[in-house]
Amino acid sequence: MKSPIDVVLNAPVFSPIRLAALSVVTKALARRNIALTSANTEPYREEAYRLIQQTRQETSMVLLDLEAYAIYDTARRTAKVPGDIAEVGVYKGGSARLICQVKGERNLHLFDTFAGLPRCSEWDPDFQEGGFASSFDQVSRYLARFPEVHFHQGMFPETAKGLDHLRFSFVHLDVDLYQSTKDGLAWFYPRLNRGGILISHDYSNAEGVRKAFDEFFSDKPECLMELAGTQVAFVKM
């Protein structure tokens, strides 16, 4: 038997009311650069958004739901591409936890200082040194239940020494700053297998991140794809 809520949500007679309400909510969220997306059209989307909400209760994520979903779904879909997964900028482990859910048997390499952001440049006016610090012990305990998760604590790319032989199917960059983004692209680009995908946070709202991407890809064949929220991505050719 349908509940009264189901009747209101689904009955044709209430369609004009639903559309009007949706229009008001959509316009209000748009002014804050937020978009509504359906989570129940496919079972795997519904499951993904439940996991995202569960992860928010367990730890902190500086991501919109649609950004978190993009990371989750891209990690899932790149399973057919050979290579490991990497994330630079782990913070409190929320996005890494989403990746762990769908990475399969792939190794996940997590790079972070866990002491916060390094020195900022003139291209990073909205950030400050030491921002987004977190606890290595807490994050490593949070992700300890998942196999093949490897932590590399310290300044990237110094912490990648000895890993030059690795190749990757998916990379998530969330490093906020111009130089850190530039270093991440320079190291991962030649190590991303064909068909692999790199996603970065803050492209649309951090001057340094956008500058680093636009400079790096000025002579590359790949096209940058600006995603919903603040993300950007490319598929390696």
Three-class SS state of 171: strand
Among candidate residues 12, 13, 6, 9, the one with its CA nearest the CA of residue 22:
9
Assign 102 a pLDDT band (cuts: 50, 70, 90).
very high
CA atoms of 149 and 168, how far apart (whole Å): 14
Query: Does residue 32 have a pLDDT over 70?
Result: no
This prediction has a pTM of 0.84
CA–CA separation, 82 vs 103, rounded Å?
12
- In the chain, the percentage of residues whose pLDDT exceeds 70 is 83
SS3 169: strand
pLDDT per residue as tens digits for the range 191-231:
999 999 999 999 999 999 999 999 999 999 999 999 989 99
**Superfamily the domain 40-235 falls into:** Vaccinia Virus protein VP39 (3.40.50.150)
User: How do residues 148-189 score in pLDDT, each as one tens digit?
Assistant: 999 999 999 999 999 999 999 999 999 999 999 999 999 999
Q: Which residues contact 184 (CB under 8 A, 6 or more apart)?
A: 88, 156, 157, 171, 173, 175, 200
33 falls in which pLDDT band (50, 70, 90)? low
Beta-bridge partners for 234: 198
Query: What confidence category does residue 8 fall into, taking pLDDT thresholds of 50, 70 and 90?
Result: very low
Name the maximum alpha-carbon separation found in the chain: 64
Residue ranges, comma separated, of all CATH 3.40.50.150 domains in the chain are 40-235
Question: CA torsion sign, 8 to 12 to 14 to 18?
Answer: positive
